[in-house]
Every structure is written in C-alpha cells, then in structure tokens.
C-alpha cells in the first residue's frame, strides 16, 4: 500500500514539475504531435455557440441523462430532478463524469466537464466525445443528428401537456398555461371502434410525415372538424388527441371572440402564421356543421370530418367496460334495443352509469332512463295527420 502511494505521489510531482518548467507553447506542440499519432478524435460541445445557446449541448443533457442507467458503465455520479413541467424524474451527468454509448456498433466515450471562470464569473460547461477517427463522417452525419432527434422525442414524451386560453380581445393567449392533467386516452374514449382507429392512424401518419410534407412543399399541419350534438364526446376526443400526441391545447371560443373575422381565421390556418414552429393540429368543434362557411371545410383546412353522433350500442359497451368493468350482461340486449329507438348522448349514458357501482342495479336504472326518454319522445312528437279519404269505405273508380 505504501509503495502504491509513493508511486502516485511521484507521478503527481513529475506532472507538476513538467507544468512548471516546460513552457505552454512546447506542451501544446507535444500534445498536437501526440494527437497526430493517436487513433482517437475528441469533439468538444460547449454550452454556448457563437454567443447563443448551443442546442446540441442541451440535447446531450437529455439524451445522455436518459441513458444513465441503460449502459454497461453507469456513471459514478448522476444528477436527478423534477419540476412541474415534466412527468417523470430527469437524470443527467454530474461534473467530470463519464459515460459510454454505442451507435451502429461503434463505441462513443462521453465526458461532462465544467470549470468556473473567475474573470467572467461564469461556469464553463462542455461535453467531450472521443471516438476512432475513421468514424468521423458517421458521427457528423448520423450520430449527432440522431442525438438531436432522440432528445426531442424524450423531451416531448416527458413534457406535461398545457392548456392555454385567450385573454380576450387582442391580448392574445395567456402567458402561462395550466397543466392539462386529463385522464382521457384513446383506450378509455367511448367512440365507435372503427372511427376511433381511423383517427389514431391519421394522427400517427401525420406526426411521422415531417419529411413528406417538406417534400411536397406543404406546411406541416392537419385540420380536424368534430361535429355533432352536445354531449357526444368532442371535448373528450380533443383531450385524447392531445395526450396521444403530447401536444399543448390552445382553446379559442369563436362565438365569444367578436374580433375574429373569417379572413383572419383563414390567414391563421393556411397563411404565414401556420408556417411558424413545428407540427400543428387544428381542431374545430361545432354542434351544427351546416352553419360553417364552406371556405373552412375544404381539404387543406379541415382535412378530416368526424361525425360524433348519439350513443350507439358499440359506444355503450365501451362505457360499460370503463364504468362497470363488464363487457357483457343479460340486460345488454334490452339496452341495445332501447338505444336504437332513442336519441341519447354518450354523456347522458355515462351519467347514468356513474350513479351505482353494482352492474345489475345500474343497468336496470339505465333501462328505465332510456324507456322514459322513449316515452317522452313519443308524447312530444306532433300528431300524424290523416289524409282525406284514408279510412273511408272502398269505392268504385
């Protein structure tokens, strides 16, 4: 043990002596000479680039932090934290720590470094990447773009969805949105199964279509029109879409915003404003599709029209599974017949299913509710007029 300490001390003294007696210029030349014979290349990524924030540096913080526990060489020191804007804990490398990554079978050796500059009163931070020189082209053209892409995905997946509303008049959107902690997903959304699948596939196709939209010269946006009677699930579908895509929601009530004009709205949808930022999904909701100006309904503005009508038996079964944990029951045939005879919204059915947890008692209550709606519809229906001659005795020609 004593000999080991003596060796370490000797190396430290030798290194200190070299730094003291060998000029910096000579040391730099020696380092440059050594690098020429080295097979490794070192790439430095600072926290700033040309006076502004280095996006690659911040992408590395996310990417390497997410890999902290998934590599064979777990860093000795890991930072961890969470704030109100992210769903799960976020990890990162502590100063002067190392981590290994593998890309296309090539070893990538990362180090996180920091140093306080007393003159600037600022902590300099940077990442160093070491790899074999023959992979320089692959690192530049594939690995670094891959890191940026993956960091965006990781950040988007962990980001809390926000809900923004207008402040009225011309004041624009609220500065700070509220967290949209809405539990609705496509798994729990009561909606016709085939239609639901079509919506999911359309959203997935859109979100993966960045290069396609760029190729055809179109703005990366998609418009949806949700129409149908009140209580048919338009708001729930929007929440499911936002959670599926992890998109923020910006809500604008056109009936309350008197300053919104048709020309201004069209300009916002397919004019200059829609070109700013990343992918955009625009959703219009209405109870009356026939009252919307046709200029808003054309393809390219409202690309997919989704009719959310009254509750069907398929929708009811999804509601029963969500609220009562049942997929079948002896009372289902009776309810199926009643639903086909009355106009009842999914919200009304859900309200009845929430009243009692016992499936049999709850479904009996729903049956009575549907029967009462059927009778009310019959009593409010206008009397059928009998044309002249109908009911008379048959006569000759």
pLDDT at residue number 233: 93
Residue ranges of the alpha helices (H) in 95-140? Answer: 136-138
What's the pTM value of the predicted model, to 2 decimals?
0.74
Q: What pLDDT, in 10s, does the model give residues 326-377?
A: 999 999 999 999 999 999 999 999 999 999 999 999 999 999 999 999 999 8
Burial 333-354 (b: 16+ CB within 10 A, else e): ebbeebbeebebbbbbbbebbe
Q: What is the mean pLDDT of residues 260-280?
A: 71
The residue among 53 and 390 whose pLDDT is bigger is 53
Which stretch of 8-22, 143-157, 213-227, 241-255 has the lowest confidence by average pLDDT? 8-22
Based on DSSP, count helices (H) and strands (E) in the chain, helices before strands: 14, 14
Q: What pLDDT, in 10s, does the model give residues 189-223?
A: 999 888 999 999 999 999 999 889 889 988 888 99
pLDDT at residue number 384: 59
Which stretch of 164-168, 272-276, 301-305, 374-378 has the lowest confidence by average pLDDT? 272-276
Cβ(262)–Cβ(322) below 8 Å: no
pLDDT at residue number 71: 67
Percent of the chain topping pLDDT 90:
50
Q: What is the mean pLDDT of residues 136-162?
A: 93
pLDDT at residue number 29: 64
C-alpha distance from residue 382 to each of 227, 342, 377, 378 (Å): 27, 16, 10, 9
pLDDT at residue number 116: 86
């Amino acid at each position: 043990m004593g000999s080991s300490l003596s060796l370490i001390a000797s190396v430290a003294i030798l290194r200190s002596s070299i730094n003291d007696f060998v000029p910096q210029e000579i040391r730099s030349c020696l380092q440059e000479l050594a690098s020429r014979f080295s097979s490794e290349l070192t790439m430095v990524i600072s926290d700033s680039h040309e006076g502004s924030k280095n996006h690659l540096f911040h992408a590395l913080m996310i990417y390497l932090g997410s890999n902290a526990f998934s590599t064979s060489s777990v860093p000795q020191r890991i930072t961890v934290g969470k704030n109100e804007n992210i769903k799960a804990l976020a990890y990162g490398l502590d100063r002067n720590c190392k981590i290994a990554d593998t890309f296309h079978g090539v070893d990538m050796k990362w180090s996180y470094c920091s140093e306080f500059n007393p003159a600037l009163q600022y902590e300099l931070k940077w990442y160093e990447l070491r790899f074999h020189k023959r992979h320089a082209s692959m690192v530049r053209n594939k690995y670094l773009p891959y890191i940026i892409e993956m960091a965006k995905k990781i950040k988007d997946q962990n980001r809390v969805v926000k809900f923004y509303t207008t402040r009225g008049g011309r004041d624009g959107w609220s500065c700070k949105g509220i967290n949209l902690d809405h539990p609705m997903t496509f798994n729990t959304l009561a909606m016709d199964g085939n239609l639901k699948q079509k919506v999911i596939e359309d959203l997935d196709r859109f979100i993966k279509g960045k290069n396609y939209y760029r190729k055809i010269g179109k703005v990366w946006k998609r418009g949806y029109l949700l129409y149908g009677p009140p209580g048919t699930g338009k708001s729930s579908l929007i929440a499911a879409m936002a959670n599926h895509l992890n998109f923020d929601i910006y809500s604008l009530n056109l009936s309350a915003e008197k300053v919104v004009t048709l020309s201004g709205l069209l300009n916002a949808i397919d004019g200059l404003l829609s070109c700013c930022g990343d992918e955009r999904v625009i959703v219009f909701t209405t109870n009356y599709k026939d009252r919307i100006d046709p200029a808003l309904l054309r393809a390219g503005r409202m690309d997919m029209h989704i009719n959310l009508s009254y509750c069907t038996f398929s929708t009811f079964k999804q509601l029963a599974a969500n609220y009562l944990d049942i997929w079948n029951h002896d009372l289902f045939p009776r309810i199926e017949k009643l639903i086909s005879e009355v106009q009842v919204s999914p919200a009304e059915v859900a309200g009845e299913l929430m009243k009692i947890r016992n499936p049999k008692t709850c479904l009996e209550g729903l049956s009575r509710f549907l029967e009462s709606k059927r009778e009310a519809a019959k009593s409010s229906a206008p009397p059928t007029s009998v044309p002249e001659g109908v009911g008379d005795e048959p006569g000759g020609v």
